[in-house]
Structure 1
């Protein structure tokens, strides 16, 4: 539903009843969307829902199959895609290649920390993103569209972008997985779900509660429709009139209700089936670092680091791009020798490293090739063999996608593929380097839930402040000037205890670093001395867990049984030809419906019990 404007000004862009096919499947089915002047709207939805496509429809780059698109006269658009292509000899050539004045382009490049004379060749991911943002701001649009703008940006660049967006006079439509970013900059949320758009006229901070309520209402509506179909089917086939001659109007109404239910069930969101095996138990000590310094050439990345990583720790690593976070990980793992100091590794470590560069994923290889690098049609998943199609389905890939080149996958789908490869291997230590890039929020929530229950050692390199806050028990920060500090807790705890540490020119006092390290050691001592929340929480019994799986199977099989019995009863000549067969079908259909209702109630009770134990 399109949002209602609080002003008398018409929307910059409005879509009405827009429909678009993506091959055999409908991508949009009656989308309504309005973008008000100076609004800052988030566009959220699952990977593959069509968010990037919808942004192109808004701009007029893609023509819908049907529906209306209206635009205010002379509206100027600027768009930053997920993977911007930087052209021209210099960054200034690129930034001024659109509608921007040269001096404006130069000013915005400088604002985003870039040298206008810098060559466009050999740019890092962060530089590419900042250049694209500078070009878009310089064009002074009426509507700025950003597709995952925080990817590859460090935290300082993200905070700069937030500040500029809050001061801007243009309207904004942004797709992002970064909750902290959306919480700060948005005042409207457009939710693309089930091929339609729902709008919340509040900021993203209100989205979770609102969307949960919407889903509960739709689940209740589906339950009422199912009950109505059951009652109508029973009445239809038991009535004397129906036994002799079909009431065609009633039959059409029943068919319409069944079709409506089938469409709603088809549109129910599918969940990732993530799993992780922590493998064999590592030694209690994972890594001990004493007085470690590392640099390249004349530049020191970090100096004087002393810390310990113990089994089960959850370490977040933050800092500007180029500060040395990946180098630090390699030193912590003993893969790179320090210039000074010592690193002692623990015993029986089985690490798995998820690399942000997506190394090993060639664009011309297929999804099947990526999951089975040794060939064949099966993959070893945490010690057991699975068919590649079954495992791919756990990560929401269809069988048709298995033979498609990786170049056709979206950024989120490629990141899911990396997760699929990494999580198939047993590991008592996970190192995740920017794992949240391009993931939709549902996938991100599933990943966080998985990692919360992981009992191995976790190292997270991320610019996603919310992600670090939710998972890290201590945080190592580098400021790019050789300083490094460790504090207990996540991003919010770090920034509260070390204000200004990441800002240019700020340097921590030596006593501050020592006090922070002492606090981390004390926090770990207390955590080890007391049972952790994860360990102390009661869990579902094996019997209940097994029964829950059985019920989930019944909830899938019983509707198919009911449909089969209904198909038998739909034969208009069955009762006259074989009354006993008709009665058996009626009895079996009623029994299946009764079993389904009982299974649904028992499943709900066990799910509520599971949620209560988890809470």
Structure 2
């Protein structure tokens, strides 16, 4: 085993009250790929800052190999003192590092380097910070939420970059798919202590559940042992005759352990407040278009959204996801085409633009809109502190200014406000940012079980696969040109359908020489004044084949019209969608072939 290049041993840190870290350990060896997981507020970011040397623990040992280089990606990078992004990125290089590496990373992350750091968006700031920490190719990379504000193409590029990197890695992220692909070990930070699993994140959740179940069994056994000892103390003959001081001491120790036991952090107890039922047709868009200057963001696009649909919007930053969302909800008017909204719509929106929040406002005031101490949730009046407890906030936090909340706490606060509003149409813009895995699970259940309609924008592939029934994406994701396509199913289903369509195009390209030969034969037949036997046979039989295809398509479309098919049997849904796509392609090919032959026949007969 290689010696560690970073080691944290028995780290203790408290800000008053319950310790944040009460004996946490972390050991990093060359080549390690560690994901650091835990509930919001468990101390993950603090432990990473201790490892980077930005925070000092109150006790415990920290060892960093003297020759090891460490780079830390913080959630809010400081650009003060830098005129350009390139200057900021190059400041992270060491004397022997290659400056060309900065150019390479800026190019792949969609930056020129000449941008003014003061004018960067959230996504651009994250890309600049990634360039700075990746460029030196350090011995250890400490990454805190590296995928926040990044689009899917950039996240997938980053996965590949980290997989081929020689740096040891410790990463905090809410993105399940990202963690599964980059990690080979997991450190779980829970109630101030750390546990290590020498397997990637894919094995974590099953292992965590086993640990918690075993802990519950042990706590139950301890309770029973205390009951037996107390019975002996009260009723045992030996106890009345002569007190056994050792047993009394053991009993006191057991009582102390039992009372001092901190169970795992509770789960969010959230339910959505559903409004009146909307009309069956929620949104109908007919050939809508939108341009800004010379750039077309939305080419002619049509869609019908029905009650119960759950639609995901994906694509690179700047492709026009937010614009399309605003058009579909009526908050932005199209340049051409029509948008028709259904009846009885009650819209609840989760907007992740937290810069719009009044950070001086308190949690209670934000949740009640300044209307006192209570709010109505699902038709019942709730006191704001009781409602906050459902989202894992302490009663004293009701008067806390929003500026004092962590990113995860702000995300839970915004989720609490949205779910309290009666709705039948949920609009979720990046809802997964900063939520821990457990709260993400709950949000997934809420979205999947919602009786109304959901339209969401997300870069979280796992969340999309678990929730949506269709996915809207740019026709050309590498270079969006305003054309959008709706695919059946989640993100993985979209990729599979794109792959199938690409395979069909490749097949068609290979068949082109044969088609040219057939055209030449048709020309020869034209010169001779009659169709060949093969052409006559095709002309007579193609209408029968097309009619049979149309029957099959109608039968499959009827099955796809079932709004509960995807949630009930996603495998059948995906299979039917694939079969339907193939039948439609075959029908289009047969129609084109028949039309060419029919035109040739008319020419010859004329």
TM over 0.5: yes
| Bigger Cα Rg | 2
Aligned residue number for residue 57 of structure 2: 64
Q: Which residue of 1 aligns with 2:513?
A: none
Q: Contact 2:25–2:194 (CA<8 Å) still a contact in 1?
A: yes
- 1:37 aligns to 2:34 (yes or no): no
For the aligned residue pairs, the C-alpha RMSD in angstroms reads 2.3
Distance 1:408 1:187, change over 3 A: same
Deviation per CA, 1:436-473, whole angstroms, max 9, x where unpaired? 00111011011112222211101111000000000010
- 1:474 is displaced (CA, Å) by 0.4
Which of 107, 113, 117 in structure 2 is aligned with 1:116? Answer: 113
Q: Does 1:99 align with 2:93?
A: yes
CA distance in 2, matches of 1:366, 1:236: 52
Q: Is the 8 A contact 1:486 1:520 kept in 2?
A: no
When residues 278 and 372 of structure 1 are mapped into structure 2, their CA distance, relative to the original with a 3 A threshold, is: closer
Aligned to 1:135: 132
Structure 1 residues 257 and 528 mapped into 2: Cα distance closer, same or farther (>3 Å)? farther
Which residue does the alignment assign to 1:272?
268
**Does 70-79 or 105-114 show the bigger shift?**
105-114
Please give the per-residue CA displacement for 1:550-603, whole angstroms capped at 9, x wherever unaligned. Answer: xxxxxxxxxxxxxxxxxxxxxxxxxxxxxxxxxxxxxxxxxxxxxxxxxxxxxx
Question: Do the aligned partners of 1:86 and 1:132 also contact (CA within 8 Å) in 2?
Answer: no
Residue correspondence of structure 1 range 148-163 to structure 2 within 5 A: 148-163=145-160
The question of 1:395 aligning with 2:391 is answered yes
Q: Whole-Å Cα distance in 1 between the matches of residues 24 and 284 of structure 2?
A: 56
Give the structure 2 partner of residue 557 of structure 1. Answer: none
Cα offset, 1:402, TM superposition: 2.0
The CA deviation at 1:83 is: 2.1
In structure 2, relative to structure 1, the CA distance for the partners of 1:244 and 1:368 (3 Å cut) is farther
Aligned length: 513
Structure 2 contact 22–192 (Cα < 8 Å) conserved: yes
Q: Deviations over 1:28-75 (max 9, x none)?
A: 222222111111110000000000001011122222222212221122
Partner of 2:582: none
Specify every segment of 5 or more residues in structure 2 that has no aligned partner in the other structure, as ranges.
503-508, 510-551, 570-606
In the TM superposition, 1:398-409 aligns within 5 A as 398-409=394-405
CA 1:449–1:522 in 2, change beyond 3 Å: closer, same or farther? farther
Q: What is the TM-score of this pair, normalised by structure 2? A: 0.81
What is the TM-score normalised by the length of structure 1? 0.80
Shift of 1:520: 12
SS at match of 2:154: helix
Question: Is 1:286 matched up with 2:286?
Answer: no
Residues of 2 paired with 1:523 and 1:153: CA distance? Answer: 37
Instruction: State whether residues 361 and 370 of structure 1, in contact with CA within 8 Å, keep that contact through their aligned partners in structure 2.
Output: no
Q: What is the CA-CA distance between 1:105 and the residue it aligns to?
A: 2.5
- The aligned residue for residue 352 of structure 2 is 356
Query: Does residue 477 in structure 1 map to residue 473 in structure 2?
Result: yes
What is the DSSP-based 3-state SS (H/G/I as helix, E as strand, rest coil) of the residue aligned with 1:228? helix
Q: Cα offset for 1:324? A: 1.0
Work out the CA distance in 2 between the residues paired with 1:75 and 1:427: 54
Out of 165, 170, 173, the position equivalent to 2:162 is: 165
Counting only pairs closer than 5 Å after superposition, residues 574-585 of structure 1 correspond to structure 2 as none
User: CA 1:33 to 1:369, structure 2 compared with 1: closer, same or farther past 3 Å?
Assistant: same
Quote the offset at 1:380 in angstroms. Answer: 2.1
- 8 A contact 2:89–2:131 mirrored in 1: yes
Separation in 2 of the partners of 1:523 and 1:158? 36
Other-structure match for 1:526: 559
Number of the residue aligned with 1:369: 365
Q: Aligned partners of 2:558 and 2:196: how far apart in 1?
A: 47
What's the counterpart of residue 491 of structure 2? 491
Corresponding residue for 1:515? none
Distance 1:161-1:22 versus aligned 2 partners, 3 A rule: same
User: Which of 89, 92, 107 does residue 83 from structure 2 map onto?
Assistant: 89
Matches within 5 A, 1:273-422: 273-358=269-354, 360-422=356-418
Post-superposition CA distance 1:120-162 (Å, at most 9, x none): 1221111110000000011321111111111100000101110
Cα separation, 2, equivalents of 1:269 and 1:535: 32
TM alignment of 1:562-577, pairs within 5 A: none
Among candidates 184, 188, 191, match of residue 187 of structure 1? 184
Aligned counterpart, 1:263: 260
Q: CA deviation at 1:500?
A: 11
Which range moved further: 397-406 or 181-190? Answer: 397-406
Q: Report the Cα distance in structure 2 between the residues aligned to 1:192 and 1:276, rounded to whole angstroms.
A: 30
Alpha-carbon spacing, 1:424–1:464, altered in 2? closer, same or farther (3 Å): same
- Residue 206 of structure 1 deviates from its aligned partner by 1.2
**Which residue of structure 2 aligns with residue 588 of structure 1?**
none
CA offsets 1:163-208 (integer angstroms, 9 cap, x no match): 1101111111000000010111111110001211111111111112
1:282–1:523 distance in 2 versus 1, CA, 3 Å:
farther
Change in Cα spacing, 1:532 to 1:106, as seen in structure 2 (3 Å) is: closer
Is contact 2:274-2:378 (8 Å) kept? no
SS at 2:472 equivalent:
strand
Task: Classify 1:340/1:49 alpha carbon distance in 2 versus 1 (closer, same or farther; 3 Å).
Answer: same
- Partners of 1:242 and 1:268 lie apart in 2 by 37
Cα offset for 1:243? 4.3
In structure 2, C-alpha distance between the alignment counterparts of 1:109 and 1:534, rounded to whole Å: 41
- Answering whether residue 19 of structure 2 is matched by residue 26 of structure 1, we say yes
Provide the C-alpha distance between the structure 2 equivalents of 1:54 and 1:89, rounded to a whole number of angstroms.
31
| Alignment-derived partner of residue 539 in structure 2 | none
Does the C-alpha gap of structure 1 residues 399 and 245 become closer, same or farther in structure 2, counting only changes over 3 Å? farther
Runs of 4+ residues over 4 Å off in structure 1: 243-246, 499-502, 519-525, 530-536
What's the offset of the Cα at 1:86?
2.8
Question: How far is 1:107 from its partner?
Answer: 2.9
Pair 1:246–1:449, CA change in 2 (3 A): farther
Which blocks of at least 5 consecutive residues in structure 1 are unaligned? 1-6, 503-508, 510-518, 537-615
Q: CA deviation at 1:78?
A: 0.8
What is the rounded CA distance, in whole Å, between the counterparts of 2:35 and 2:25 in structure 1?
15
For 2:498 and 2:368, the matched residues in 1 are separated by 46
Q: What is the aligned counterpart of 2:426 among 409, 424, 430?
A: 430
Offset of residue 426 of structure 1 = 1.0
**Structure 1 residues 529 and 495, CA, compared in 2 at 3 Å: closer, same or farther?**
closer
